[in-house]
Amino acid sequence: MVENAPDLESYLVGQVAVEVGPHGGVVPLRLPVWAERQHDRPDLRWAARAPAGVRIRLHVGVGRVTIRLHALTVRLGDLVVPPQVTVVDGDDVRVHTFSRFSVLRLGGEGASVQSLGVEAGEPEDVVIDRSSAADPLEVWLSPACRMELLSVVADSPVEPAGPSGGPVWVHYGSSISHGMGSPPHLPWPVQVARSTGWDLRNLSFSGNAQLDPFAGRVVGAIAADVVTAKIGINVVNADVMRESAFLPAVHGFVDTVRERLPDVPIVLVSAISCPIHEDTPGPVVSDAGRWRTARRQVEGDAGALTLRRTRELLERVVLDRSSDDPNLHHLDGRSLFGPDDVGMLGDDLHPDQAGTDLIADRFPAALRGALGGALGGAVPFRTADQPEKTSVER
């Protein structure tokens, strides 16, 4: 048996930082710890520790590989999200669902959600028997749970594989891009990255794509080949700002990224179609398992944002800056998921898996159209050659 390398972090790809977990392992983070001092949102702290798009990549020979992980998931009422990882071993794609894990119990709803304590669980081994070592071994981590990497043990020598070597794609977005409701390999940005060969950094945070200043700094700190930012839905459904604040906030986000990445293409992606918010401001509230807009009673409601208005403002930002910044582009989110597709909004807010797959299918061509050849040959728009064989393991 060959034990893990001393630095477990070197096996991970897609994280922004790491911290030491409760079992002494490595917990990948998608926001650095310093950013937590600049907000007070527990749901964002959780989302930043849910490793959407983070994967373990190894060079390892044939034989058995055992990866030990500890998973912490959430229980809200009777709902428990089962921790999963997706093992990609060549053409074989297998979902491993954990049977031993810790549970963070939550009570209340909306802004009143509180922690009721943790039900302690145990680490679990993900066992992989390799018959070929032609490709790196990849394990995509859960987008919905905190994952702690504890060890890697194999029958043959193990080395970090590092990033894929494809163009680095940084994506900032909301829950639709975060993908908490999907298996680890099926959020739409992960599907796009795997089909194109792009090296994904998924900085999407469920409920929290609200143009926070620290988010722009984190995005700009990554040596990206292209940056996409899907903006609108969380600003509206959280009712966090009005038009007078939204417009300078978008400019500020672009300025922050541009100061750090002066020549990289940036694509502002507006919201997909969502009837409840097209012409009605937020906030959004949960109602019997579905989402609807709150019943507002606000005097002087001028400037309250709707999705339709956020799209107009994003396009205006790009037009106003185009003479000085030819590498700033706009992509209308309705080209990814439009009015004819809203039957796939399973809860009236989030696309179901079929809708998520549709966004993934449409995104490469839509991005290519938005860029208008700005990247030249830097980003290949190839698709996977072979269908995948997927199995589910528990």
**CATH code assigned at 241:** 3.40.50.1110
Give the number of domains in the chain: 2
* Model confidence at 19: pLDDT above 50: yes
From its phi and psi, is residue 214 left (phi > 0), alpha (psi between -120 and 50) or beta?
alpha
pLDDT for 376 equals 46
| Residues 261 and 299 placed together within one structural domain of the fold | yes
Written as six digits, the tokens of 226 are 């292209």
- Type of residue numbered 36: E
Q: What is this structure's pTM?
A: 0.90
| Residues 295 and 361 placed together within one structural domain of the fold | yes
User: Residue 168: which pLDDT band, with cuts at 50, 70 and 90?
Assistant: very high
| Residues 230 and 365 placed together within one structural domain of the fold | yes
308-314: long-range contacts at Cβ-Cβ below 8 A with a sequence spacing of 24 or more? 308/278, 308/279, 309/243, 310/231, 310/232, 310/235, 310/236, 310/246, 310/270, 310/271, 311/232, 311/270, 311/271, 313/243, 313/246, 313/247, 313/250, 314/231, 314/232, 314/250, 314/268, 314/270
| Residues 188 and 270 placed together within one structural domain of the fold | yes
State the residue range of the domain holding 50: 8-162
Kindly state whether residue 95 falls inside one of the protein's structural domains. yes
| Residues 13 and 91 placed together within one structural domain of the fold | yes
Sign of CA dihedral 128, 46, 356, 256: negative
* Model confidence at 378: pLDDT above 80: no
| Residues 203 and 318 placed together within one structural domain of the fold | yes
| Residues 353 and 223 placed together within one structural domain of the fold | yes
Looking at 162, 182, 216, which one is the last position of a domain? 162
b/e per residue 195-222 (b: at least 16 CB within 10 A): bbbbbbbbbbbbbbbbbbebbbbbbbeb
* Model confidence at 381: pLDDT above 50: no
| Residues 244 and 110 placed together within one structural domain of the fold | no
* Model confidence at 388: pLDDT above 50: no
| Residues 233 and 341 placed together within one structural domain of the fold | yes
pLDDT tens-digit map of 119-158: 888 999 999 999 999 999 999 999 999 999 999 999 999 9
| Residues 22 and 145 placed together within one structural domain of the fold | yes
* Model confidence at 114: pLDDT above 90: no
**CATH code assigned at 34:** 2.60.120.260
Report how far residue 254's alpha carbon sits from residue 220's, in angstroms, rounded to the nearest whole number.
9
pLDDT for 346 equals 87
Kindly state whether residue 388 falls inside one of the protein's structural domains. no
Kindly state whether residue 391 falls inside one of the protein's structural domains. no
Written as six digits, the tokens of 192 are 């796009």
| Residues 219 and 362 placed together within one structural domain of the fold | yes
Helix (H, G, I), strand (E, B) or coil at 126: strand
Which residue from 302, 301, 285 is spatially nearest to 293, judged by alpha carbons? 285
pLDDT for 276 equals 82
Where do the H-state alpha helices sit in the chain? 33-36, 42-49, 175-178, 188-196, 213-220, 233-237, 243-260, 275-278, 307-321, 353-371
Q: Mean pLDDT over residues 164-168, rounded?
A: 94
pLDDT tens-digit map of 78-112: 778 889 999 999 999 999 999 989 998 776 555 45
Kindly state whether residue 267 falls inside one of the protein's structural domains. yes
pLDDT tens-digit map of 209-227: 999 999 999 999 999 999 9
pLDDT for 277 equals 80
Kindly state whether residue 319 falls inside one of the protein's structural domains. yes
pLDDT tens-digit map of 313-368: 999 999 999 999 999 999 999 999 999 999 999 888 899 999 999 999 999 999 99
Looking at 162, 190, 213, which one is the last position of a domain? 162
Report how far residue 25's alpha carbon sits from residue 21's, in angstroms, rounded to the nearest whole number.
5
| Residues 215 and 364 placed together within one structural domain of the fold | yes
pLDDT for 384 equals 37
